[in-house]
Amino acid sequence: MSFLRTEALSRSFGGLAAVAGVDLSVEPGEIRAIIGPNGAGKTTLVSLISGRVPPSSGRIEFDGDDITALKPWERVLRGIVYTFQITSIFRNLTLAENVMLAAQRAASRDQPLWRGLDDRAVTQAVDAALERVGLASRAQELAGELAYGHQRLLEVAMGLALRPKLLILDEPTQGLSEQEIADFCALVRSIAMDATILLIEHNMDVVMALAQRITVMNNGALLAEGTPDQIMNHAEVQRAYLGT
């Protein structure tokens, strides 16, 4: 059984089909890239999976359960974590405080709030998440003072503190330097040892370096799926997206 599966998943906005009958199957521990031209439906698809957008029709299964009707926060509690294309950090809080909010939510899955949280465990989770994304030395800085690329890394740290089973990364390398992108690729590989990853990314070097399989979308539908080599040599993908 697939770890994540969608069946005929669709979403229309005012008669426009942003996602049209998508059947997607992702295995546990996989790094799956979703690519396609602007407006192809990539972000709408992952928004359906995370629960931010309700489907017009279709079904979503996660870890053996039908989650189609679950609220976004219920999906977070099940381990589905989405880092946004536009950062959603708390700019007036420190990096550590931002990550602590996520770590406290994760801790509440294991310990009812009325019994109190293990402050030491929460602090350790914050420190570990910031260390993994390379921001530990800036833990007490205000999040709003970070450059945009580092805000993206902070959001990834918040996602890690939630202990995801499925981590959805939407354009995570935008605003990062070449060295930061290389470090990020190493980070994603380490995350994949414990979680499944859906990656929306326009940087094809990153996609080809990380993805085990690639799903290509165009006009709200699946155009092709396959390994990086298969996608690079797919004639329709070349015409619709790669420009060759």
Per-residue pLDDT tens for 16-33? Answer: 999 999 999 999 999 999
Domain annotation covers residue 129:
yes
Residue 189 token pair: 């590989």
- pLDDT for residue 53: 95
Q: How confident is the model over 30-43, as a mean pLDDT?
A: 94
What sign has the CA pseudo-torsion 31, 37, 43, 46? negative
Please, what is the angle between helix 148-161 and helix 119-132, to 10°? Answer: 140
Mean pLDDT throughout 80-99?
85
What per-residue confidence (pLDDT) applies to 238? 81
Structure tokens at 124: 């350790």
> Is 137 a domain residue?
yes
pLDDT tens digits, one per residue of 102-127 = 998 887 766 554 455 568 889 999 99
Q: Is residue 105 part of a domain?
A: yes
Range of the domain at 112: 90-161
Q: Is the pLDDT of residue 221 over 90?
A: yes
| 143 belongs to a structural domain | yes
The pLDDT value given to residue 244 = 53
H/E/C letters for each residue in the chain? CCCEEEEEEEEEECCEEEEEEEEEEECCCCEEEEECCCCCCHHHHHHHHHCCCCCCEEEEEECCEECCCCCHHHHHHHCEEEECCCCCCCCCCEHHHHHHHHHHHHHHHHCCHHHCCCHHHHHHHHHHHHHHCCCHHHCCCEHHHCCHHHHHHHHHHHHHHCCCCEEEEECCCCCCCHHHHHHHHHHHHHHCCCCEEEEECCCHHHHHHHCCEEEEEECCEEEEEECHHHHHCCHHHHHHHHCC
Euclidean distance between the first and final Cα of the chain, in Å? 36
Q: Kindly tell me if the per-residue pLDDT of 218 is higher than 50.
A: yes
Residue 176 has pLDDT above 90, yes or no: no
CB of 89 closer than 8 Å to CB of 143? yes
In a domain, 100, yes or no: yes
Dist CA 229 CA 207 (whole Å): 11
**Residue 128 pLDDT > 90, yes or no?**
yes
Cα(54)–Cα(47) distance, integer angstroms: 8
pLDDT classification of 149: cutoffs 50, 70, 90: confident
Q: How far is residue 222 CA from its own chain's centroid? A: 19
The mean pLDDT of 87-107, rounded to a whole number, is: 89
Judge whether 122 lies within some domain: yes
Higher pLDDT, 166 or 37: 166
142 part of a folded domain:
yes
- Give the position of tokens 């004639």: 235
- Number of domain units in the chain: 1
pLDDT at site 114: 40
- Contact (CB, 8 A) for 236 and 223: yes
Asked, for residue 118, whether it belongs to a domain, the answer is yes
Q: Cβ(155)–Cβ(84) under 8 Å?
A: yes
